Structure 1
Amino acid sequence: MSRTLISHAQLQRGRGRAVYWALLAVVVTAFTLVFLGPLYWMVTGALKSGREIAQIPPTLFPRDPEFGNYVDAWTQLNLGKLLFNTFYYAAGAVLFQLVLDTAAAYALSKLRPVLGNVILGAMLATLMIPAMVLIVPQYQTVISLPLLDISLIDSPFAIWLPTVANAFNIFLLKRFFDSIPEEIMAAALMDGASPLRTLRSILLPMSRPILGVVSIFAMTAVWKDFLWPLLVMPHPQTRTVSVGIYAFAGGTPQNVVVAASVIAAAPTVVLFLIFQRNIMSGLTTGGLKG
């Protein structure tokens, strides 16, 4: 039996059991309110009138729900175009990361190049650098690409290229590849399979859980990003949904802006609810059953 702060005998007593469940209920309720409170305010605020949403103190429930706010948000802010742009950028980021990050993790895990551990350590060290510190050098690179001397402003590559070398995703993939037994690699080598064939035919089918996790991380990172798309996608036709909502917020009623925020957040929330089991299984996979 595992050891805990409260012994099993104390939990079996009447008072101990009551105190335990009372504290558990308080903690769970508090964390639920903290995490779901802003989401509830956003969803209900999108159904309020402009006067009601600005009322102090705010109302917990809309007096007269106005579902037309969602229609106004879709038409006035051109959300269809913004959502398409964001999905296009996110899909490209997922494709680039799956191809290049998987290749990097496979090389570091199974091919073991010279100075591989040094390279991995240097990549992991970049996780300690605040993202804001990298904004200026990344922007200077985008406005004048080295050697080619071309600008990537308003080009999807301005979003795709900085997301390719994702140290965290490479580490996740390498950790998963490390858990694959070397006997499988040796058997593939004896059958005459090249390293690329081994990756494509053996490792990738076994890596579907972690590849799904990396795909979701890559998509949500692009979907929720704001500052970088604001800098490199200034044209109205190339904006992402977060930048587009911000750009139109000044001359748009607040309730319509909140409705647009609900529509923008819905795809990622639905994606998580559908694949939450796959996300957890992919993150906790540390070995293979024989």
Structure 2
Amino acid sequence: MTTSARRATARSGRPERPGRTLVSAAQWRSRRGRIAYPVILALALLAFTVAFVLPLAWVAVGAMKSPQELATVPPSVLPSTWHPDTYGTAWQYMDLAKYFLNTLVVAVGAWAVQLAVQVPAAYALSALRPKLGNVILGLMAVTLMLPAAAVLVPTYLTITDVPLVHVNLVNTPSAIWFPAAANAFNIYLLKRFFDQLPADLLEAARIDGAGPVRTMWSIVLPLSRPILAVVSIFAVVAAWKDFIWPLLVFPDPARQTLSVALQRFAPDTPINLLLAGLVLASVPMVGVFLVFQRQILAGLTTGGVKG
């Protein structure tokens, strides 16, 4: 801290704000600044809260209205008569238990396959540093710039006739598990985290006789719990909410996931039951975010390892 910063800290009783911002330090210390900042912050937080929470609340409350009330114009804010039993009816009417189980199998399998492939790949690019590692990483980065629709046809042709083994994976969870492993964003995220691990620690393990696999298993993975939690959540959420790819690879209605099944029921299902099904389908992922939001933020902002 410079001498002028120390003097400013001594005069104000609080540390000087670092860096250059849109508001000068003098404006922050003024009476107007001390009043305007919390007011603007509160209004911004309120606006974002309304923008994100209001649609969810409307769907959850709308499911407890009758179909006739949902069709009224202008729409009512609260139901004139509450029908909380709509959720139970929707669960039985659309047989959601079966589709929840299908989605759970797909999501858990996609999570396991992604970690089994992406963690060693990122560790190899970070610690082992192969000769063409930068080229491979660059090619992976290029795939992030392609729209998802551009790779649908090649990926579908691949899973209908898997190279070398010539197996058709349509109507099996493997049709989602294996393509999900090729996630360049997660590999890049893991590699960036592994790059921040202390080199001295890895060198000490090598001197003690630990090979690359033992080092990854015993040292790297225990230190990488924050980023592993983030990648795990991304993998589960992506598999749970995906629609286009499950629609293509699960033509059998009995094997479809929640997102596809709800779309199939939509034309012939009362609107309140469909809204209830949407709410029930989103509850697990909302719960995952609320429970693990600290791990998500910690994993995305961690730039090093505390010694």
Length-normalised TM-score, structure 1: 0.96
CA distance in 1, matches of 2:241, 2:25: 44
| Count of equivalent residues | 290
Partner of 2:47: 30
Of stretches 33-42 and 238-247 in structure 1, the one that deviates more from structure 2 is: 33-42
In the alignment, structure 1 residue 250 sits paired with structure 2 residue 289: no
Q: What does the per-residue CA deviation read over 1:170-196, in whole Å, with 9 as the maximum and x for residues that have no partner?
A: 011111111111111111111111111
Shift of 1:62: 1.6
Runs of at least 4 residues off by over 6 Å:
none
Shift of 1:157: 0.8
Of stretches 97-106 and 137-146 in structure 1, the one that deviates more from structure 2 is: 137-146
Equivalent of 1:152 in 153, 157, 169: 169
Equivalent of 1:137 in 144, 148, 154: 154
Partner of 1:39: 56
Q: Superposed, which structure 2 residues align to 1:195-210 within 5 Å?
A: 195-210=212-227
Partner of 1:49: 66
Equivalent of 2:257 in 217, 229, 240: 240
Equivalent of 2:235 in 218, 221, 239: 218
Equivalent of 2:128 in 87, 95, 111: 111
CA RMSD of aligned residues (A): 1.4
**Percent of aligned pairs with the same amino acid:** 52
CA distance in 2, matches of 1:37, 1:7: 35
CA distance in 2, matches of 1:276, 1:126: 28
Partner SS, residue 210 of structure 2? coil
Q: What does the per-residue CA deviation read over 1:25-60, in whole Å, with 9 as the maximum and x for residues that have no partner?
A: 332222222211211111111111111112211111
CA distance in 2, matches of 1:7, 1:60: 44
Equivalent of 1:64 in 81, 93, 96: 81
CA distance in 1, matches of 2:48, 2:165: 51
CA distance in 2, matches of 1:167, 1:210: 15
Q: What does the per-residue CA deviation read over 1:201-245, in whole Å, with 9 as the maximum and x for residues that have no partner?
A: 111111111111110000000011001101101112110001011
Shift of 1:132: 0.8
Partner of 1:85: 102
Q: Which runs of 5+ in 2 are unaligned?
A: 1-15
CA distance in 2, matches of 1:282, 1:24: 25
Partner SS, residue 119 of structure 1? helix
CA distance in 2, matches of 1:193, 1:21: 54
CA distance in 2, matches of 1:240, 1:75: 16
CA distance in 2, matches of 1:245, 1:26: 37
Partner of 2:10: none
CA distance in 1, matches of 2:178, 2:132: 24
Length-normalised TM-score, structure 2: 0.91
Shift of 1:4: 2.6
Greater C-alpha Rg = 2
CA distance in 2, matches of 1:110, 1:16: 49
Partner SS, residue 237 of structure 1? helix
Amino acid at match of 1:210: I
Shift of 1:18: 4.0
Q: What does the per-residue CA deviation read over 1:66-93, in whole Å, with 9 as the maximum and x for residues that have no partner?
A: 0111011100111111111111111011
CA distance in 1, matches of 2:67, 2:25: 55
Amino acid at match of 1:280: L
Does the C-alpha gap of structure 1 residues 181 and 18 become closer, same or farther in structure 2, counting only changes over 3 Å? closer
Of stretches 79-88 and 22-31 in structure 1, the one that deviates more from structure 2 is: 22-31
Partner of 2:193: 176
Partner SS, residue 117 of structure 1? helix
Equivalent of 2:141 in 115, 121, 124: 124
Q: RCO (CA 8 Å, sep 6+): is it higher in 1 or 2?
A: 1
CA distance in 2, matches of 1:60, 1:12: 43
Partner of 1:262: 279
Q: What does the per-residue CA deviation read over 1:141-174, in whole Å, with 9 as the maximum and x for residues that have no partner?
A: 1222223333211011110111001101101111
In the alignment, structure 1 residue 228 sits paired with structure 2 residue 245: yes
